[in-house]
Amino acid sequence: MERRVSHDGSDNEPPLEVYDPEGNNGTGRLAPVPPLAKKAGEKARQEEVGSSALGEHHLPGAFLKANFCLVCYNDVMENLETEARNWIISNAESAQTLDSTYYCQTRDVFQARLDAMSRVLGQAYLISAIAGEIGNNSFDHNVGNWPDIPGIFFGYDISSKTRCIVLADRGRGVFATLKEVKPELNNDTEALKTAFTERLSGRMPERRGNGLKFVRETVSSQRLHLEFYSDNARADLDEQIAIFAAENAVHGCLAILTFSDNVTL
């Protein structure tokens, strides 16, 4: 379904709104647009670009109202990573300004939004399971130990052929978590390799630790792509896994999962 921009002809521009039949407790009422989508709509409004120039883009169950044109949402997907990365590397004062659309302060807020995404994805259950595992890991391993701001960033774009889910936290990172149970770890790269390849939990003596192994195996078997950053290390996962020093360090963890629109797993 098209996200269409409209204008009432008055001097005062109407607020950008998104119609989602599954949203607002199923009422199908107009609800605020996520900020990145809002920026795309405002840009189109300012430039007065026609629908023929922007082309048609479809997202089931959603309309964006603003100026009689169709808004291109590729920028939304591309900018989610930037939004998340900026949040986790900024100082605590700046990080407090993260839009509530993406901020999940508690696990129950994250779970509710994950459930909403799952309903839109339909039968792509493993995609939701991967996002749930990564998001819940942030809460599991930082509870009572958040350095400053608790909770996670959770955003997704499923409106284009290449879909994207982004999660991030300002937590302790994989190295600090696993070093408590595996003191011989020397750096972030070793810790990330351990997290994705060994059964080892940072919540000992619990007999857990399969979470990120499940993520790795699912990404590999289903031909997805995951970029996972923790402090100074980065893991790239598809059918193979490569772990190396990250060019740009983060504070905590950042995960970017991408997959095609025909995935139904």
Both 68 and 93 in one domain: the answer is no
The whole domain housing 12 covers: 1-72
Q: Confirm whether 265 is domain-assigned.
A: no
Token pair of 201 as six digits: 């939990």
Both 98 and 210 in one domain: the answer is yes
Both 13 and 89 in one domain: the answer is no
What is the residue-wise DSSP string for 3-33? -B----SSSSPPPPEEE-TTSGGGT--EEEP
Both 127 and 25 in one domain: the answer is no
- Position 254: which residue type? L
Number of domains making up the chain: 2
pTM of the full structure: 0.72
Choosing from 48, 72, 96, the residue where a domain stops is: 72
Q: 135-188: per-residue pLDDT in tens?
A: 999 999 999 899 999 999 999 998 778 899 999 999 999 999 999 989 999 999
Give the C-alpha separation, 155 to 114, whole Å: 10
Both 60 and 189 in one domain: the answer is no
User: Phi/psi of residue 19, each to 5°?
Assistant: -95, 120
Closest residue by Cα to residue 222 from 187, 193, 260, 195: 260
Both 123 and 33 in one domain: the answer is no
CATH number at residue 239: 3.30.565
Binned at pLDDT 50, 70 and 90, residue 265 comes out as low
**Is 60 exceeded by the pLDDT of residue 189?**
yes
Binned at pLDDT 50, 70 and 90, residue 263 comes out as low
Both 204 and 191 in one domain: the answer is yes
Binned at pLDDT 50, 70 and 90, residue 75 comes out as low
Q: Confirm whether 232 is domain-assigned.
A: yes
As a whole number, the mean pLDDT across the chain is 76
Buried b (16+ CB within 10 A) or exposed e, 63-101: bbbbbebbbbbeebbebbbebbbebbbbeeeebeebeee
Both 31 and 2 in one domain: the answer is yes
Both 79 and 158 in one domain: the answer is yes
Residue 153 near residue 246, CB atoms below 8 Å: no
Q: 125-142: per-residue pLDDT in tens?
A: 899 999 999 999 999 999
